[in-house]
Amino acid sequence: MNTMTEATIEADPDVPMIHIRRDFAATPAQLMRAHLDPDLYVQWVGPNGSDVRVDYWNAVTGGSWRFVSTDGAYAFHGCFHQVAETRIVQTFTWEGMPDDVSLETLEFTELGDGTTRLHARSLCDSFEARDAWLRSGMETGVNEGYAKLDEMLADVTA
């Protein structure tokens, strides 16, 4: 059962950044693992009805990654710049807009009541690129993916 709210997705008015915040009934370690273990990641990332496969995945500082939808509709790739205990810094490129690379920072903060807040910040190359991401329908993939992550985490803690 999903007891969390949908993600808040906000454009920063001062810099070309997107803020995504979402609470999960999980520990920071569980969320980190779900974001770094490719076998877990493919179970929840993306919109409903879309399956992904990992081309390559080296989730360490200095490593790189790429995943594609099994129907070929989309692909993403990037590099892990920092993998720490409760923080991931990576580049993120949608191959549909290959010239627009974002720098994404994910922070997992324990709230003390069995929940963890994910705050993802995506710094884009320009306001135009940021606005194109926001118009792309990304909120569907984000919210549906996080709902699948909720279900996966509930199965682990059940």
Task: List domains and CATH numbers for the chain.
Answer: 8-157 (3.30.530.20)
Neighbours of 144 (CB within 10 A): 18
Percent above pLDDT 70 for the chain: 96
Report the pLDDT value the prediction gives residue 158, as an integer from 0 to 100.
46
Percentage of the chain surpassing pLDDT 90? 75
- The C-alpha angle 34, 122, 130, rounded to 5 degrees, equals 135
**Nearest residue to 136 (alpha-carbon basis) of 149, 146, 124:** 124
Taking residues 9-19, report their average pLDDT: 96
| pLDDT grade for 66, boundaries at 50, 70 and 90 | very high
* Reported confidence tier of residue 99, pLDDT bands at 50, 70, 90: confident
On whether the pTM is more than 0.85, the answer is yes
Structure tokens at 112: 């003390």
Do the Cβ atoms of 100 and 132 come closer than 8 Å?
yes
More confident site: 101 or 156? 101
Interior/surface letters 99-111, b for 16+ CB within 10 angstroms, e for the rest:
ebbbbbbbbbeee
14 vs 4, residue with greater confidence: 14
Q: How confident is the model at residue 96 (pLDDT cuts 50, 70, 90)?
A: confident
